[in-house]
Amino acid sequence: MKTVDARGCACPQPVLMTKNAMARDNNVEVLVDNNTAKNNVERFAKNQGATVTIKAADAPDEYVITIEK
């Protein structure tokens, strides 16, 4: 599984990094630290037909988004 650390990245980096990772791997894990990035990455992945699960990480406002194509 490819892990993408998009924490602290400005828009649209989280989605762009996810897009690039999904082009190379079927299973991608994306780390984000705000709701906007979480929603954007989730929407992008679902639009690509992937299955998306989101879990809250240990740190406040951080999420782990698991994407499976």
Partner 1 sequence: MMLRIGGGDLNAVIGLVGFALGIGCGIIALNQGFSLDRAYKVTTGEAYAFPIMQVVFLVVLVAVPTILMFSTEGPGSMHAPIIISLAAGLIVGALCQKTRFCTVAGIRDSIMFKDFTLLIGFASLIGACIVMNLIVGKFHLGFEGQPIAHSDGVWNCLGMLLVGFASVLLGGCPLRQLILSGEGNVDSVVTVIGMTVGAAFCHNFGLASSGEGSTPNGHIAVILGLIVTVVIACVNIASNKKKAGA
* Residue ranges binding partner 1 (CB under 8 A): 7-13, 15-16, 19, 36, 39, 43-44, 47
Q: Shortest distance, CB of residue 60 to partner 1, whole angstroms? A: 9
Q: Which of 21, 33, 36 is closest to 67 using CA atoms? A: 21
Give the CA distances from residue 6 to residues 21, 26, 59, in Å, rounded to whole numbers and listed in that order. Answer: 12, 18, 14
Nearer Cβ to partner 1 (9/67) = 9
Nearer Cβ to partner 1 (8/68) = 8
Output the furthest CA–CA distance in the chain (Å, rounded): 30
Q: Shortest distance, CB of residue 24 to partner 1, whole angstroms? A: 15
